[in-house]
Each structure stands twice: as C-alpha cells, then as structure tokens.
Amino acid sequence: MSCISPEWCLYSNNPAFLRNDLHEMCTIPQDWALRTTNAASTWVEQQFLVHTGSRPLVDPPPELDIHTMLSCRQLAVRMAEAYQHPIKLDIDIIRYNEALAKHESGMNDAQEDALLMKFLPAKRIVLNTPSVVVDSGFRIILWYIADALSPWVQNDMYTTTLSMGDLFKKSITARKGSIWRIHESNFRPAKMLGLTPGCINIAPCWFQQGHECYGPPSNNPDDVFKPKVSATLKGKRSLSMIMAMQRPALLASAALRVMHPELYWASVATHLELGRWSADQGLRDMHRLLTHWASVYTSASIMCNCQLPDH
C-alpha cells in the first residue's frame, strides 16, 4: 500500500496545490495575529513542496519564535510523509457524499447500516504511519498525520483545555436526537487529571442560525441577521483563551493551507472582510477578538467546507 502509483504521481503534480489566486487580494494588517499565521502557513507549504518534490529549501520567517518554527517544520515533514504514502479505497467519495442525508447526525443506526451496505468496506485497514486515504478517483478522503504536533503545541493545547473545564462540562448532552459531536455516548472520562470531556464552539464571528442572508451583511442596524461573537467568547476570559490557543490555531491553519489552499485563501479573505465590517459597525468586541484570532477558521469556512465532497 505504500507504493506510489503513476496515477497518484500525476495527481500529486496537480496545480491545485499552487493555485493561490485569492492571495493577491488579501492584505493582512501588520498588527493582526493572522499575519503571523499566514507567514507560517506559507513556509509550511514551501517545506511540504521541498519534501514532496524538488523545490529548494526556504528559510523560516523571522517573526516565528524557535518553538513555533520547529513545530511548523515537524508538521510539514509529517504531511509530506503522509502524502507520499497514499492508501487507495475502492469507493467514490462523490457518490458517498450524495448518499448522505442533508443534515447527517451520525446517530441514526438505520442510516449508518444502510450506508455500510451500500458502500461495503473492502477490508479493515490499520493506519500506523502518516498516510492519506484516497478514493477510486484519487481524491483525498483523509489525512492521517501521526506525530504532527510538537511537544510545545501539545502543551499549549493541554494548558488551554484545563482552563475551559466548565464550558466543556456544560456542552455534553444525553438528549435523544442531538448531534453526535456533543452526545455523551461519544465521550469517556479523561485519563489525565484536570481534563474535562466536551465539545464547544469557539469563534470570534458566529452566525445566527435560522436566518438566511445572501450577500454581505446589511449596514442597516434594524436588520435581524447579524454575525455575532459566539457565546463561548463573550465571557471575561475570552481574550486570554484566544491568546493561549494562538500556536495550535496557527498549526491548524498551516495544515489547511496544504490540504485545501482554495478554502484557506477564501477563509483569509472572509476573516479580513469581517474585520472591516465589524470596525465599520462599531462592534468593538468582535473586531478586537478578530485581530487576535490566529486561525483562518470561522463558522463561515466550516459551513462552506461541510458542503464540499473534500470535507
């Protein structure tokens, strides 16, 4: 399975990895955390291309501290290893995506059984090395990037998670019909002292559900629909949580730059437009959080990605 087929070699040379048409439209302010994220993401992409092709080595950006630089290098190496170890499945992910319900909960046993019957797994595969799982058309379904996070990033994540115990505890539900992400059946007690199982939404811009808005948000203050800061970030510790998450957020964004460059640049453009809009609207809390938000991910990019077969 580790042998790279000629078809995969052709696919790996696809210019999609280098299509960054939107980047010329994105000018990130000097004092935004996103600027450092973009510099790091660019370097991770360059290092990835070094290890998967014949690109020359590039020096790291001077604004990265030593731990962040080493973390970026480790991520790029592991992603390159994964990309050079494709595992092909006899499944068409486009057809599979079309067979899913519009709002798949993951908690409907009959639906899960029907999907398994229609798309029978060929065999059980154990992933023990960095790999990409691809479908019959060589579309990437899954990146398995073992050992992608450096000890410093893992420590950042552990420390930040400890401070969110109350939020995690409140997020779990046993309610029938709830989505699988927050259902108690998918969680188990933490083995590490102080950690609380849970799943929360954190975003400097969260969209009100149940409303439709086509085009940019209106400047009319009487309009019902408005992007808002997520409830999780409306507390007193919001800025400290964002600051503590900056390095893990940077790494996640850098991974997206390699995996899905078009979504990466669309997310950067959305982030910048939200910053401009929130400043024009006098939404100081949202604008302040956006300037410190190091991730390209917003609720908009997540919802967009959920509509794509690549997801």
Confidence class for position 25, pLDDT limits 50, 70, 90: low
Residues 6+ apart with CB under 8 A from 72: 40, 43, 44, 47, 60, 64, 250, 251, 254
Q: What is the pLDDT of residues 239-291, one digit of tens each?
A: 888 888 899 999 999 999 999 888 899 889 888 988 888 898 888 888 898 99
Q: What's this model's pTM, rounded to 2 decimal places?
A: 0.79
**209 to 172, 206, 303, 307: CA distances (angstroms):** 20, 9, 12, 16
